A and B are shown apart, each in its own frame.
Chain A
Amino acid sequence: DVKVTQSSRYLVKRTGEKVFLECVQDMDHENMFWYRQDPGLGLRLIYFSYDVKMKEKGDIPEGYSVSREKKERFSLILESASTNQTSMYLCATGSGRRNEQFFGPGTRLTVL
């Protein structure tokens, strides 16, 4: 079974703080993704990575950066958190052409 873990389930931060969200997978998948989920908007892709040290912008990368130093670990960084970044953040992994994705439990981030 694929296991995808996220560093926190719930997080409360203040405006302007730097926020790190970490995702770890144990199935040796090449591809990793960060999404945010907001009501009525579905899942929106922030960044993805298809290899170590490689990253690609998704649909909404503004205000975010990512780091992938090891294959199993993909970090999402909010350089200066803002209230409009309050959301559910979901990490996913995938492998292969069809790229079925496997998700972590999510981090509910609230920025005050």
Chain B
Amino acid sequence: DQQVKQNSPSLSVQEGRISILNCDYTNSMFDYFLWYKKYPAEGPTFLISISSIKDKNEDGRFTVFLNKSAKHLSLHIVPSQPGDSAVYFCAASANSNYQLIWGAGTKLIIKP
């Protein structure tokens, strides 16, 4: 039973436009959410996070939105750049649990 779902395996976006990656979760105990970016043959790197007490967090070109009632979060990248082409993972944690629960990832392709 997947507690964190990324329903789009891939997404293709024109350079300069907005990329929107989506993530849904089922566990209402999750209170912290993270986005990671992964290039081939490298480990994931942390991108941005959001606590459940907020509904938006922004860092440069990256913004994460959280809709608790819908159990949905999204990552917006604007403007999209070729270097943003990667696999993006959504992850969630609950309270003081050490573990992160991961989505399956979305492959973002930025077209020139």
Contacts and interface: CB of A to CB of B under 8 A. Distances in A.
Nearest to B96: A97
Contacts of A98: 32, 49, 93
B43 A92 contact: yes
Would you call the interface of chain B mostly helix, strand, loop, or mixed? loop
Interface residues of B, number: 23
Contacts, number: 53
Contact of A108 (B41, B44, B49, B93): B41
B13 to A, nearest CB: 21
Contact of A41 (B46, B99, B104): B104
Contacts of B99: 45, 48, 58, 99
Interface residues of A, number: 27
A24 to B, nearest CB: 14
Given A98-B93, A100-B34, A100-B49, A42 B102 contact: yes
Contacts of B97: 99
A103 B43 contact: yes
A4 interface: yes
Given A42-B104, A103-B43, 6 more contacts: A91-B43, A99-B93, A100-B46, A101-B100, A103-B45, A106-B41
Interface of B: 6, 9, 32, 34, 41-46, 49, 89, 91, 93, 96-100, 102-105
